[in-house]
Chains A and B, each alone.
Chain A
Amino acid sequence: MGRTLYDKIWDAHVVKEFGDGSALIYIDRHLVHEVTSPQAFDGLRLNGRKPWRVAANLAVADHNVPTTADRIRGIRDPISRAQVEALDANCAEFGITEFRMNDPRQGIVHVVGPEQGATLPGMTVVCGDSHTSTHGAFGALAFGIGTSEVEHVLATQTLVLKKAKAMRIRVDGEVGVGITAKDIALAIIGSIGTAGGTGYVIEYAGTAIEALSMEGRMTLCNMAIESGARAGLVAVDDKTIAYVKGRPYAPKAQYWDAAVASWRQLHSDPDARFDAEVVLDARSIEPQVTWGTSPEMVVPVSARVPDPAREADPVKRSGMEKALAYMGLAPNTPITDIRIDKVFIGSCTNSRIEDLRAAAAIVKGRRKAPHVKLALVVPGSGLVKAQAEAEGLHHIFLDAGFEWREPGCSMCLAMNADRLEPGERCASTSNRNFEGRQGQGGRTHLVSPAMAAAAAIAGHFVDVRSMH
């Protein structure tokens, strides 16, 4: 019987089977950031251990870093500074390559990895961050781990894992104009729910997925975790190989042909069996907007805020009521009537060059609505920022009254100074609309970069297709 893409990568990384359904799996790439690693490095020191293979690790500070230009003078918040300095010291002590805060290659770890070619097809990639699923866009098995597992990978270059089930989500057909990978991702989560992928690795397939750029595939796989799946995957094709070629960590010339030949095998066999299959029609997908406090609480922009009174399941109804109370929304409100206070364009979901281009295309020649207090654009890395500036995108944003910042996680999770105040409502290109995620009492609506840009201009949600 044929094998799935997940089977192929899993099989290639088994160090030892334990005979009880779990196995020791080799990890090719370990990405490290400042928030989930200090206790792991402490663990190594306490036990007198060293990293198993130093060169497998790549570190970058992203969660805590300020995004204002004055960061060149250091981090003002002493606790954030201590955490970033702890990463610097740990990497120096153990010899791990780190892109420090003011290195032009610094950025969000899930933007930096692929950009450097540190993420390659067929690899196992882990990081102490749930959005590591992003790297599955390259046909790599990539997933988030906790700090104890960070220490385990540092010490042993392996993890003890139980194999997940395989799900395939096919999105067939062609999406309409103005529909992005973010809308596909949100539509999938709306369809299967935030726990629909729990226990699975999801392979995204179908013509709409094949048509996505690598940036789009990263956005899609990034949000696999928001449907409960620890990892998302897309098969390798010409786009994957073209993206990787020439990047600093890509295979050297003498290995290139052999590497490409092996990557060409990274797709599910035609007769491979999946434990679950979901099919979506690309043509039915509209621009998506979340209305609640879980990514599955999502509707098309043309819809209204749902009414809990129509929900039969009491646990779900109570969840909807709590969400609406937190979000300050009445049932049946048209989505396009929801006014916003702030806009955030950034995060490991949507801060790559294609995202900034899509937002700039909407913003060009317009201005943000006067009541929108802040429209923040935070590029995913120093290299994305430089590319955007070379294309003049920063002028478009600045002329429209947006702020143009230094790279980092920023207001996706508000560990730095970028945050919502209580009650503020934000159109955000990030990945989580949980209570308090962007600042205590803040209200998050997840959208695509183009939809966020359109909301900034209109001052409320608007169907971006009317602005093209």
Chain B
Amino acid sequence: MRAFTVVTSKVLPLDRANVDTDAIIPKQYLKSIRRTGFGPFLFDDWRYLDPGTLEIDPATRRPNPEFVLNDPRHAGAQILVARDNFGCGSSREHAVWALDDYGFRAVIAPSFADIFYSNCFKNGLLPVVLTAEEVQAIFECVAADADALFTIDLPAQTVRLPCGRVCRFDIHPHHKHNLINGLDEIGLTLAHADAIKAYEAKRRREAPWLFE
């Protein structure tokens, strides 16, 4: 997994609450059996005026000029900011893969849905929870100057706004450690293989019907 330490970037403002994973990546793209290539379909229904599928070349489609992702002022932003309950709905990790594949490294919101939140950490995408007031301040900064640069410092657990204001965020130490070091969680867990085997032997004695 790609490590995350410090990212400095413009911010893409997506001024919506309850952005669900169906909106982040619609169902027709979940038929892909790959992990990559979802970036061109990120926010597909909002981003394009005509319908798309895996078989249609996105370059041939009509972008929706009203949608913020198509606003050239925000091109190259690696940080997305949105309102409450970002990533609600389906467990599809494709939503995180699409954000990552598009080029986002972090999402800032006042709250995230639980499954989306944990999926982020498996893919080097940092979800940052700030207060609604802090998120509002970020929206206002971006509205005033789309080119303004924000810095997310994971080791320090801070977001620095262009005005100099610094917002602190919480993150579980386990998530932080794995993200900073880009660690493979399966490899780490398998280091506890003996503990898993010991647990399993005990469980087999206590609830043998689970192992029939």
Q: Which residues of A pack against B, CB within 8 Å?
A: 15-16, 18, 20-22, 24, 26, 28, 35-36, 38-39, 42-43, 47, 49, 52-53, 55, 63-64, 79-80, 82-83, 86, 120, 122-123, 128-130, 132, 143-149, 151-152, 155-158, 160, 162, 164, 194-195, 198-199, 225, 228-230, 250-252, 255-256, 258-259, 262, 294, 315-316, 318-319, 322, 413-415, 432, 434-437, 440
Contacting residues, chain A, for B185 (C-beta < 8 A): 148, 152, 160
Which residues from A are CB-within-8-Å of B123?
148
Q: Are A228 and B35 in contact (CB under 8 A)?
A: no
Q: What are 26 A-B interface contacts by the 8 Å CB criterion? A: A16-B192, A21-B174, A26-B200, A82-B33, A129-B90, A130-B89, A130-B91, A130-B115, A148-B185, A149-B119, A149-B122, A152-B185, A152-B186, A156-B186, A156-B196, A195-B85, A195-B113, A228-B113, A251-B212, A255-B208, A255-B209, A258-B209, A259-B209, A435-B23, A436-B23, A440-B45
Could you give, for residues 103-126 of chain B, a 1 whenever the CB lies within 8 Å of some chain A CB and a 0 otherwise?
A: 000000001111100110011000
Rounded to whole angstroms, the CA-CA distance of A248 and B83 in the bound complex is 46
Q: Which of A22, A55, A255, A437 contacts B172 (CB 8 A)?
A: A22
Chain B: residues with Cβ within 8 Å of the partner, total of: 61
- A residues less than 8 Å from B85 (CB atoms): 194-195, 198, 228
Asked, given contacts A26-B203, A52-B196, A199-B114, whether A434 binds B23 with beta carbons under 8 Å apart, the answer is yes
Question: Looking at the complex, which one of B17, B20, B55 makes contact with A79 (CB distance below 8 Å)?
Answer: B55
Q: Which of A47, A146, A318 contacts B186 (CB 8 A)?
A: A47
Tell me whether A83 and B31 are in contact (CB under 8 A).
Answer: yes
* CB neighbours of A55 from chain B (8 A): 211
Bound CA–CA A259/B207 (angstroms): 7
Pairwise interchain contact B92-A36, C-beta atoms closer than 8 A: yes
The proximity string for B residues 1-43 relative to A, scoring 1 for CB distances below 8 Å and 0 otherwise, is 0000000000000011110101100111011111100000000
Contacts of A162 in B (CB 8 A): 172, 174
Q: Determine if A15 and B195 form an interchain contact, defined as CB atoms under 8 angstroms apart.
A: yes
Are B122 and A148 interface neighbours, CB within 8 A? yes
Task: Tell me, in angstroms, the Cα distance from A79 to B55 when the chains sit together.
Answer: 9
Is the C-beta of B137 less than 8 angstroms from some C-beta in chain A? no
Give bound CA distance, A350 to B196, whole Å: 37
Quick one: which of A22, A129, A152 contacts B91, CB cutoff 8 A?
A: A129
Contacts of B83 in A (CB 8 A): 315
Contacting residue for A64 out of B18, B31, B172, B210, CB 8 A: B31
| B114 neighbours in A (Cβ, 8 Å) | 164, 198-199, 228-230
Q: Is the C-beta of B128 less than 8 angstroms from some C-beta in chain A?
A: no
Name the contact of A39 in the complex, choosing from B35, B113, B190 (C-beta under 8 A).
Answer: B35
Contacts of B89 in A (CB 8 A): 130, 432, 434
Q: Which residues of A contact B51 (CB under 8 A)?
A: 440
Are B195 and A255 interface neighbours, CB within 8 A? no
Beyond A21-B174, A315-B83: 19 further Cβ-contacts under 8 Å?
A15-B192, A16-B192, A16-B195, A26-B203, A82-B33, A146-B96, A146-B118, A157-B196, A195-B84, A225-B115, A228-B85, A228-B114, A252-B209, A262-B206, A322-B16, A415-B27, A432-B22, A436-B26, A440-B51
- Expressed in whole angstroms, the minimum distance between the Cβ of B86 and any Cβ of chain A is 10
Where the two chains meet, the residues of B that have a C-beta atom closer than 8 Å to any C-beta of A are 15-18, 20, 22-23, 26-28, 30-35, 45, 51, 54-55, 83-85, 88-94, 96, 111-115, 118-119, 122-123, 172-174, 185-186, 189-190, 192-193, 195-196, 199-200, 203, 206-212
CB pair A26–B196 under 8 Å, yes or no, is yes
CB within 8 Å for A146 and B189 given contacts A18-B174, A199-B114, A415-B30: no
The complex places the Cα of A18 from the Cα of B185 at a distance, in Å, of: 14
Complex Cα–Cα for A195 and B87 (A): 11
Q: Measured between alpha carbons, how far is A80 from B28 in the docked complex, in Å?
A: 9
Please name all residues of chain B whose beta carbon is closer than 8 Å to the beta carbon of A86 when the two chains form the complex: 33
Q: Which chain B residue shows the least CB distance to A143?
A: B115
Smallest CB separation, A353 vs chain B (Å):
26
Most chain B CB within 10 A, of A24, A39, A225, A434, is at: A434
The chain B residue sitting closest to A297, CB to CB, is B18
Would B195 and A24 count as touching, CB distance under 8 A?
A: yes
A83 to B30, CA, bound (A): 9
> How far apart sit A229 and B114, CA to CA, in the bound complex (Å)?
8
A158-B189 in contact (CB<8A): yes
Are A198 and B192 interface neighbours, CB within 8 A?
no
**Cβ of A157: which chain B residues have Cβ within 8 Å of it?**
196, 200
CB distance from A13 to the nearest CB of B (A): 8
Q: Is the CB of A415 within 8 A of B88?
A: no
Q: A199 CA to B115 CA in the complex, in Å?
A: 10
Nearest neighbor of B22 in chain A, beta-carbon distance: A434
- Interchain residue pairs A-B with the least CB separation, the first 4: A251-B209, A148-B122, A146-B93, A146-B119
By a CB distance below 8 angstroms, the chain A residues around B192 are 15-16, 24
The smallest C-beta distance from B34 to any residue of chain A, in angstroms, reads: 7
CB neighbours of B203 from chain A (8 A): 26
Q: From residue B89, how far is it (CB to closest CB) to chain A in Å?
A: 6
Shortest Cβ gap from A258 to chain B (Å): 8
Nearest-Cβ distance from residue B45 to partner chain A, whole angstroms: 5
List of A residues within 8 angstroms of B209 by Cβ: 120, 250-252, 255-256, 258-259
Q: Assess the B199–A26 pair: CB atoms within 8 A.
A: yes
Chain B residues closer than 8 Å to A20, beta-carbon distance: 172-174
Chain A residues in 8 Å Cβ range of B34: 39
Closest-CB distance, B57 to chain A (whole angstroms):
15
| In the complex, chain B residues whose CB is within 8 Å of the CB of A130 | 89-91, 115
